[in-house]
Amino acid sequence: MTSPGIHAVNVPRPPDEESRLSALHRYQLLDTPAEDDFDFLTELAAQVCGAPFAFVSLVDRDRVWIKSYFGMSAQSRPRDDDYCSWAILEDVSLSIPDLTMDPRTAGISMTVGPPGYRMYTGANLQTSDGHRIGSLCVLDDRPRALTSQQMRLLLRLSRQVMALIELRFHQRSLADALSTMERLATIDELTGLCNRRVLMERLDDEVERARRFATPLSVVMMDIDHFKAINDGHGHATGDAVLRNVGALLREDHRHVDVAGRYGGEEFCIVLPGTTLDGGITLAEFLRQKIEAFEHVLGDRSLSTTASFGVGTLDIGSEGNAGTLLKAADDALYRAKRNGRNCVEGARPQP
Q: Is 28 left (phi over 0), alpha (psi -120 to 50) or beta?
A: left
- Contact (CB, 8 A) for 219 and 260: no
Q: Hey, which residues are catalytic here?
A: 266
Q: How many CB atoms sit inside 10 A of residue 285's CB?
A: 14
Let me know if 186 is exposed, middle or buried by CB neighbors in 10 A (0-12, 13-18, 19+). middle
3-state SS class at 267: strand
- Contact (CB, 8 A) for 256 and 202: no
Cα torsion 330, 336, 337, 342 to 10°: value is -120
CA-to-CA distance for 262 and 255, rounded, in angstroms? 17
3-state SS class at 211: helix
Q: What is the DSSP string of 298-315?
A: ETTEEEE--EEEEEEEE-
Strand partners, 76: 65
